[in-house]
Amino acid sequence: MRQQMQLAVGPSSSSSRSSSASDGFPLGPIIINTPECGSESSAGRQKREVRAAEHTTPPGVSRMRSIVSFYLCYLLSLCLGLACVVCVCLWNSRWRGGFAWDGSGLQFNWHPVLMVTGLVVLYGNGAMLYRVPLTWGQNKLPWKLLHATVMLLALVLSIVGLCAVFDFHNTKSIPNLYSLHSWIGIAATALFATQWVLGMAAFLLPCSPLPLRQLLKPVHVWMGGSILWLSIAACISGINEKLFFVLSGTQPYANLPPEAWLGNSLGVLIVAFGLVVLMILSNSKWQRPDSRPEDLAYTPLLQEENE
């Protein structure tokens, strides 16, 4: 508190670190050392005014603003995720003839539905789980188990989605894994599976050694975001490829028939969902405050760790 007051009333040369690249959209006041035109003293005064203004904002108000902003973004991500699932289901049921598991084109239709639902929407929601302020006042372990369960469900859906296309290809004697779309998609799923197994071993199993957790924690977090944008790149290339395959003859893709609009809109929705999720994940102010004492109060069978 004393340090904060020193910053607030200190001289202009006592620079403070501005919001970092990792902050995303900071919710609290931002301090940037921006001298006004030609006047050092004016710039210094302006900075001091900004600092003074931020210290007059009660911490409760600032925290409430942060929570409200989070829930607005979270609600947006939920709506976009739901819109993605509705769009991909509608496309494959209404325009592509529905679903079956018989090696036909109807089996292929499970592929986009399961990949978008599992590898993008469910995955994104699982990744955002720890950011929900509702979970912060409680012990972390149940949320960690829920995170692992949601991710497992996402992984299972993705693997079933891959089985659908492999089975369809094998029935039609089409080679597997030749396109760039398939290379990126299989890499995303393989990384996801590795991430889940290593995450489970390091952060949920008891007796996982501390050096392993230390090594894996930042890699787990960074790889989590990377898998999401790899999955989205795979989805975009897959939708693009599928629309070129199916829209020919009297209704070519280039004429933008209704199905093309729906497919393209699905791609845009997926990108928008990814942008919002990655923005939420990258904002350090929306991270679970692990330093709270209640987080350490309960240590059940699977030991708590400050992940």
**Between residue 168 and residue 197, which ones bind a copy of itself under the rule CB under 8 A?**
174-175, 178-181, 183-184, 187
What is the nearest approach in angstroms of a copy of itself to the Cβ of residue 231?
A: 10
Nearer to a copy of itself, 12 or 160 (CB): 12
For residues 249 and 284, what is the distance between their CA atoms, to the nearest angstrom? 51
For residues 200 and 89, what is the distance between their CA atoms, to the nearest angstrom? 31
CA distances to 75, 89, 90, 244 from 97, in Å = 32, 11, 10, 17
Nearer to a copy of itself, 160 or 208 (CB): 208
Tell me, rounded to whole angstroms, the distance of Cα 259 from its chain centroid: 28
Structure tokens at 84: 């993605």
Nearer to a copy of itself, 104 or 303 (CB): 303
Residues 6 or more apart whose Cβ sits within 8 Å of residue 271: 232, 236
Nearer to a copy of itself, 156 or 252 (CB): 252
How many of the chain's residues bind a copy of itself (CB under 8 A)? 88
Tracing tokens 């590795």 back to the chain, one arrives at 194
What is the nearest approach in angstroms of a copy of itself to the Cβ of residue 33?
A: 3
Long-range contacts of 243-252 (CB under 8 A, 24+ apart): 246/96
The stretch among 58-66, 95-103, 193-201, 285-293 that binds a copy of itself (CB under 8 A) is 285-293
Q: Which of residues 59-118 bind a copy of itself (CB under 8 A)?
A: none
What is the nearest approach in angstroms of a copy of itself to the Cβ of residue 58?
A: 20
Structure tokens at 149: 């369960």
For residues 90 and 253, what is the distance between their CA atoms, to the nearest angstrom? 18
Q: Which of residues 18-37 bind a copy of itself (CB under 8 A)?
A: 18-26, 30, 32-37
For residues 145 and 31, what is the distance between their CA atoms, to the nearest angstrom? 38
Count how many residues are written for the chain: 307
What is the nearest approach in angstroms of a copy of itself to the Cβ of residue 41?
A: 12
Q: Which helix (H) or strand (E) holds 176?
A: none
Report if residue 295 touches a copy of itself, rule: CB under 8 A: yes
Report if residue 214 touches a copy of itself, rule: CB under 8 A: yes
Structure tokens at 95: 């325009």
Nearer to a copy of itself, 139 or 160 (CB): 139
Among 232, 269, 273, 277, binds a copy of itself (CB under 8 A): 232
Report if residue 204 touches a copy of itself, rule: CB under 8 A: no
Q: Which of residues 37-56 bind a copy of itself (CB under 8 A)?
A: 37-38, 40, 43, 46, 50
For residues 17 and 282, what is the distance between their CA atoms, to the nearest angstrom? 18
Nearer to a copy of itself, 100 or 292 (CB): 292
Nearer to a copy of itself, 53 or 64 (CB): 53
The stretch among 109-117, 156-164, 193-201, 249-257 that binds a copy of itself (CB under 8 A) is 249-257
Long-range contacts of 4-8 (CB under 8 A, 24+ apart): 4/55, 5/55, 7/51, 8/48, 8/51, 8/52, 8/54, 8/55
Among 2, 59, 61, 207, binds a copy of itself (CB under 8 A): 207
Report if residue 57 touches a copy of itself, rule: CB under 8 A: no
